[in-house]
Amino acid sequence: MPLYGYAGKILRLDLTQRKAIVIETEKYRRWGGGHGMGSALFWDFCKDKTITDGRHPANVCCIMTSPLNGTIVPSAGGRCEVVGVGVGMYPISWFTRSGFGGRFSTMLKYAGWDGIVIEGKADKPVWVDIRNDQVSFRDAVNLWGKDTWTTQQEIWRQIGIQPETKHQWQDLQELELLTKEQRKGKDQGRTTQKSAILTIGPAGENQTAHASLIHDAGNGAGQGGFGAVWGSKNLKAISVLGTGSIRVADPKAIIRARMVTKEKYVSSWERPDLRSWTRLGGFPRPIIFVRPPTNDRRPQSCQGCINGCRTRYNVGYGNESSCQETAWYGSFARKVAKSPAENTEINLRSADIVQRYGFNSFLFQTGLHWLEHLYEEGLLGPGKKIHSDLPWKEIGTLPFAEKLVHALSAKTDIGADMADGWVQAAIKWGREKDLHTGAMQFSYWGIPEHGYDPRAELEWGYGSIMGDRDTNTHCFNQIFTTVSAAFAFAMPIRIEAEEMVNLHARKLSPYAKGRPEVLDFSDANMYSEAVAQLVRWQQHYCRFFKQSALFCDLKWPDFYSTNTPNLEGATASSDAGEQVFWNAVTGDKLTFEDGIELGRKIWNLDNAIWVLQGRHRDIVHFAPYVYETKYEKGELFPFYMWPCRDEKGKWQYTDLMGRSLDRGKFEEWKTIFYKLEGWNTKTGSPKRSTLEKMDMKFAADALQAAGRLGEEEV
Amino acid sequence: MNDSQDRSSGKITRRHFLLGAGALSLAAAVGADLILPDNMLAMPNSEGFLLVDLKKCQGCGTCMMACALAHTGVASYQLARIQIQQDSFANWPEDIFMATCRQCQDAPCVDACPVEPVKANRPHPEYGNVRMIDQKLCIGCQACIEACPFTPKRVQWDHVIERSQKCDLCADSPYLGERGGPGGTQTCVKVCPVNAIAFTRIMPDQSLEESYFVNLRGPAWGKLGMSTK
């Protein structure tokens, strides 16, 4: 029986030996795809799972697709998952994940590969050239030092891809760099497309903690520092060109469900509701945090997306950057810009800078405020305790942005101290107290707070600390942004609090179905079993549907929608729910709950790896400021609106600012969470009984051999 | 567009003729009303055409993948009858090109098909004379691909089965689940998230490549802060 939705092969790249080895996907089919398969591959191929720095030669980095990639499943066709041990986290760089969009995963599938397992280290810089089943290791010495955009264009030139947008079909066997045998081999087909390239820039080459992987102009895998992982392996880029196709189980059903999505759940172009409350069903709008520089632009999206969140302009800067990278310099640029137009230009050109350097600007999210604080306190600067020759007086200008990113990418100036991680630098500089005062808001695992403070938005914070990184999963977060924006700008509340939580509860199967109280983040409920069930649901949903099936985080789950008469979104629906698409592509008979259960298995496998790396419940805690100071200054709004029950049990949108977490009560909440997960409550380690019920005896055995298996409890 | 509704109605108003030894047989195959004096055959106009808005497309490739799915049951770029090309490093609007078959009045790809007695590539009277390739008749000579004068070629080569294929306005799309072709559904039109592809029965000006490029950006587009010009 064919593996519907899969290419059928996984490519194992042994950089040390410069060998390309084929793995049959079938062996890993039980894990679904994406993160699940990546975790299983890491488990099998990483020989030392105690490593805690992704730059270790034993680290294995997997670039994974899903069966849905390369298809028209709405906002699931073009995501790609990256897993491996990360770089720069604190106190331990966990086995972690990142993801990016665009067309890389689609092209990889069409080239015949479900994923790439990268292991070993090349003796000198290489890039990998994949054209269908032809895999070649190429010298990257001439690419080393080049930025991510130049690298991609140079690879296109070396391959012989025509430089124009509109160009003729190209026969793969007539492109450059091929051997005689490859030219004479079987017909590899033709394409009108440019190869899809994933690459690192100078930040990755220098193995800095803030290094990302970049594809096209603006798709980046930032968190996790995977750029540094590639840099440590002397891997500059992977270029993929595919002319194949993917068999699906039921093409009619896929097309029908896609049409239903467009016609039922997405805003109508004929009767546009520009202020609809929906995730999947909005219009294409760039998620940028400045005014667009021009109306002469288009939306731009990942493959298969139903409403693009990026944009390309005619002004020559800012193309494809979205979300955080368009805001990392915002509050600083605003101080020096003489006009809104100049503010936009500084911000979008600053976004270009981080894209080109392959720099994870998310670390600036709260990090740059901290550096400015050190400068303003007279602690950082020329001749100061923390010596820096950077022109800090010019912060907010474009030249300063480039000098800063350059220093941190090249490990010069303060970049030398920060290359191993920001909290590590704080310790080196004697600034641990900044994690107590909140001057340095790196909430969890040495990673900045995301703007969704753990003292307010509990599922975000709790999910992050129970996981491996800033969770960056927006399953419920739109409640905050939508409702707070409505309050801030006096816009109509389209869905009242009680209806909002009930709409969610209908779809929170199995743990929280019909339990709206799981969304009650009031002081009275914030350490409850109900909130633990919500966090579990989010982690399990994301590990499968979002990070393995690769439904886009910004569009799914779709709990509610003002586009439909009953306000229900597409998630878990019988006509266009996640499981409908999964089954149409793969031929499975997966229920929505089956997907959550598979996510639980993947989550447990991840936790087994974390435990082998050294995780214990004692180190699972937030940065001290989360407990010791109150959340009083929001990044987006001066309040944090969320549905809560009042003393009489009535639901209303309530401001969650002004509180801190109680350390003792949070520890009690952790116990509840561990118990629900079947993990030992004293250590947080998975128990054999839990793992074996999920057919994961292999993980239990490995934990036992390492002396890290969680003891059974009554 | 400079043609009239009457001109694109499918009536034989074409001045271009197909000549050759198999002409009579072909005429019989496609319908007696196509037989003209002196053993000359007229190529009836297609009754439908695709129009695109190059400034609107979001580059999601959904049309390509859906096209391949509807026709062949597999997801693919290469097997898509519509090709979306983009350069991530170019600026709007030169960053995207949408290549659709023009259903040419003269249709050089039809002209070039050497298959006898019935051309593999021919206007199909049951489907509004859309120019279609019958892969059961195609001999894989690629003459139709060579003949297509556009960049990129609007006839695709399926290297696995070694046959040509082209846009048929979804006339033969067994996996679409509804009737295609002129008068029916065109998958790419229906699936495009931003409605950057449209169907028309009015033949665009054949002398200009640009006549297939139209402005499909309505008021909602402007309200989203994007140019409608």
Find, among A567, A500, A503, A504, the residue nearest to A537 by Cα: A504
Give the pLDDT of residue A636.
Answer: 86
Q: Which 3 state secondary structure label does DSSP give B222?
A: helix
Task: Identify whether residues A566 and A637 lie together within a single domain.
Answer: yes
Q: What is the pLDDT of chain A when averaged over all its residues?
A: 97
- Residue range B160-168: mean pLDDT, rounded: 97
The nearest alpha carbon in chain A to B155 belongs to A169
Are A399 and A539 found together in one domain? no
- For residue B9, pLDDT over 80 is answered with no
Mutation to test the B interface, candidates A255, A264, A295, most B Cβ within 10 Å? A255
Give the pLDDT of residue B41: 57
Chain A residue at shortest CA distance from B66: A72
Structure tokens at A111: 């080239």
**Tokens standing for residue A667:** 């520890």
Domain count of the fold of chain A = 3
Q: Are residues A306 and A345 in the same domain?
A: yes
Q: Identify the H or E element spanning A214.
A: strand A213-215
The mean per-residue pLDDT over the stretch B10-22 comes to: 37
Q: For position A390, which CATH number holds?
A: 1.10.569.10
**Across residues A321-336, what is the average pLDDT?**
96
Calculate how close chain B gets to A289, using CA atoms only, in Å. 14
Q: Which residues of B touch A262 (CB under 8 A)?
A: 190-191, 193
Cβ contact (<8 Å) for A314 and B92? yes
**Do A213 and A315 have their domain in common?**
no
Name the minimum distance, in Å, from the CA of A121 to any CA of chain B: 30
Is residue B35 packed enough to be buried (19+ CB in 10 Å), middle (13-18) or exposed (0-12)?
middle
Print the domain residue range for A97: 9-241
The tens digit of pLDDT for each residue in A394-435 reads 999 999 999 999 999 999 999 999 999 999 999 999 999 999
Does one domain contain both A433 and A462? no
All residues of chain A having their beta carbon less than 8 Å from the beta carbon of residue B213 are none
Contact at CB, A217 and B89, closer than 8 angstroms:
yes
Contact A307 B89 (CB under 8 A): no
Nearest chain B residue to A295 by CA: give it. B226
The residue from A642, A662, A682 where one domain ends is A662
Statement to judge: residues A539 and A637 lie in one domain: yes
Tokens 């392996």: give the residue: A233
Judge if A207 and A291 occupy the same domain. no
Least confident of A98-112, A158-172, B19-33, B176-190: B19-33
**pLDDT (tens digit per residue) in A509-562:** 999 999 999 999 999 999 999 999 999 999 999 999 999 999 999 999 999 999
Nearest CB neighbour to B85, from listed A165, A269, A299: A165
The answer on A120 and A25 residing in a single domain is yes
Contact B92 A152 (CB under 8 A): no
Q: To the nearest whole percent, how much of chain A has pLDDT over 70?
A: 100
Q: Report the C-alpha gap between A375 and A390 in whole angstroms.
A: 11
Give percent above pLDDT 90 in chain A.
Answer: 98
Q: What is the mean pLDDT of residues A159-187?
A: 95
At residue A86, does pLDDT exceed 70?
A: yes
Question: For A389-518, where are the alpha helices, taking DSSP H only?
Answer: 398-410, 415-418, 422-428, 434-437, 458-466, 477-488, 497-505
CA pair distance B71, B174, nearest whole angstrom: 6
Q: Are A582 and A549 in contact (CB under 8 A)?
A: yes
Shared-domain flag, residues A204 and A292: no
- Chain A residues within 8 A of B89 when measuring between CB atoms: 149, 152-153, 216-217, 319
> pLDDT tens digits, residue range B52-82?
999 999 999 999 999 999 999 999 999 999 9
A482-489, Cβ contacts within 8 angstroms, sequence gap of 24 or more: A482/A277, A483/A641, A483/A642, A483/A643, A483/A653, A484/A636, A484/A637, A484/A639, A484/A640, A484/A641, A485/A637, A487/A637, A487/A639, A487/A641, A487/A653, A488/A637, A488/A639
> For A115-136, what is the HEC assignment?
EEEEECCCCCCEEEEEECCEEE
Asked if the structure places residue A613 within a domain, the reply is: no
Which chain A residues are within 8 Å of B153, Cβ to Cβ?
168-169
- Write the pLDDT tens digit of every residue in B103-159: 999 999 999 999 999 999 999 999 999 999 999 999 999 999 999 999 999 999 999
Residues A83 and A120 reside in one and the same domain:
yes
The Cα B155–Cα B79 span in angstroms is: 10
Token readout for A498 is 């009680």
**How far is residue B32's CA from residue B26's CA, in Å, rounded to a whole number?**
10
CB spacing of A192 vs B56 below 8 angstroms: no
B69 and A284 in contact by Cβ < 8 A? no
Question: What's the 3-state SS for A349-408?
Answer: HHHHHHHHHCECHHHHHHHHHHHHHHHHCCCEECCCCEECCCCHHHECEHHHHHHHHHHH
Neighbour count for residue A539 (Cβ, 10 Å): 26
Mean pLDDT calculated for residue range A652-673: 98
Which chain A residues are Cβ-neighbours of B215 within 8 angstroms? none
Mean pLDDT of A585-603: 98
Which long-range contacts (C-beta less than 8 Å, at least 24 apart) are formed by A484-487?
A484/A636, A484/A637, A484/A639, A484/A640, A484/A641, A485/A637, A487/A637, A487/A639, A487/A641, A487/A653
User: Which residues in chain B are closer than 8 Å to A244, comparing Cβ atoms?
Assistant: 76, 78
Q: Which residues of A touch B88 (CB under 8 A)?
A: 102, 152, 216-218, 319-320
Average pLDDT on A591-600 reads 98
Query: Residue B128 — left, alpha, or beta (φ > 0 → left; ψ -120 to 50 → alpha)?
Result: left
Q: CA of A111: which chain B residue's CA is closest? A: B76
Same domain, A339 and A222: no
User: Among partner residues A166, A190, A308, which is closest to B97 by beta-carbon distance?
Assistant: A166
How much is the pTM?
Answer: 0.95
Q: In terms of CA atoms, which chain A residue is nearest residue B217?
A: A269
Top residue of B64, B72, B77 to mutate, by most chain A CBs within 10 Å, is B77
Query: Taking CB atoms and an 8 Å cut-off, how many pairs form between chains A and B?
Result: 214
Say which range, A39-43, A609-613, B3-7, B166-170, has the weakest mean pLDDT: B3-7
Q: Which domains does chain B have, with CATH numbers?
A: 17-205 (3.30.70.20)
Give CA angle at B89 (B87, B94), nearest 5°.
55
Residue A607: inside a domain:
no
